[in-house]
Chain A
């Protein structure tokens, strides 16, 4: 049910709305469910609303962990 995708905030509009880009696909969404959204933030968009902000640092950490887990497995073979 919860189809939602990360998109980059490229412009803040009046009335708690924002333009977001998802790989060049542009859409206007509401950011009223989040506090202090800034241009450049990545937010999770669901049915036209931003639900959460993506934490860049955590994202990098998750990716590093993924890479590490895979490598460890390869070496263990």
Chain B
């Protein structure tokens, strides 16, 4: 695959990894947070941690909207789907996410709710068009990457004069979360343990590299925006190691083949036309963050399921033993949570970080748990 295969070249990776090992000072530590679940996935999937020297540590950030979606919103969606007139359309990622009583959309579907998995926002509009007697609600979640496609769906529904289509909006904003990680109350209390950020890939195609300027100017944290392929991640790590070594804190753009300084203006304009920031939105593991979520503007409220169906979100507390907040701020490793792998596994997640395969704890469990004691895979070679 062009623009994919080139960035999965194992031989090149060895070269970059060697450069990282050569340049990373063994006397200091490099705690680098990859914000995005896509990066977390690439790191886990390709075993990149084994290529990095011990002083370079990757901290898996909150960049998985499925993980950070509060349980109360899942509960609300499940309640909504229970209404006989409603067809709830959702991305596959949300189907298994547990609500507060061990409920999930998958279970609600089994119990008879009309819940359909869609791959594109346009599919949800298509269903509303084909089935005019159904109230079709699209469970909209995601970062800045995913909000423009939601906006496109609303535009299409408006153009087609559909009155049976609406969205349950849970779109969130990444800069607000990065800010909370470096400057939130807990961060101030424990001190921030992060030396630099691997910046979002596809979020940045929309919002542009300049959107992270505050990391450098306000917080003196270097950022390297990176693509989701494994070589992209390694190259960004090398860029961050160099910034730290040289005492720089700049916004560098490794993913320059797809990310510009200003991002996708057309997408931004469309989103701004329809959505406005909420005063605050709850993030699982991080708490309520100011100006971190979107809702539809009043002019578009006819497409807003929250007003149409009077959806109430009842806050459900996170498990007291869950260390997600500390994991996300780089204060704790997943294995240091006492519930990790015992009560909390991907099959029965307790905290946000275990919910989707891109969560910090889930990635560690599903791909990396062999690294805790005993046998190392590196010792085993398949004989030719």
Contacts and interface: CB of A to CB of B under 8 A. Distances in A.
Contact of A42 (B3, B142, B148, B228): B3
> Which of under 10, 10 to 19, 20 to 34, or 35 or more describes the interface residues of A?
35 or more
Main secondary structure of the interface of B (DSSP, over half): helix
Main secondary structure of the interface of A (DSSP, over half): mixed
Interface string A1-29: 11111101000000000000011000001
Nearest to B159: A15
A23 B152 CA distance: 27
Contact of B152 (A2, A22, A49, A71): A49
A48 B120 contact: yes
> Which of under 10, 10 to 19, 20 to 34, or 35 or more describes the interface residues of B?
35 or more
B257 A33 contact: no
Interface in A27-77: 29-30, 32-35, 42, 44, 46-49, 51-56, 58-59, 61-63, 65-67, 69-74, 76-77
A35 B202 CA distance: 18
B305 interface: no
A51 B15 contact: no
Contact of B257 (A5, A49, A54): A54
Given A2-B38, A42-B2, A70 B149 contact: no
| A-B CB proximity, top 6 nearest | A70-B15, A48-B120, A73-B19, A52-B205, A2-B202, A73-B18
19 contacts: A1-B146, A2-B142, A2-B201, A2-B203, A30-B149, A34-B266, A42-B2, A48-B119, A49-B149, A51-B145, A51-B264, A51-B267, A54-B257, A54-B258, A59-B257, A66-B16, A69-B235, A69-B238, A70-B19
Given A1-B36, A52-B206, 12 more contacts: A1-B93, A1-B145, A6-B1, A30-B120, A42-B3, A47-B120, A48-B149, A54-B3, A59-B3, A62-B235, A67-B12, A69-B19
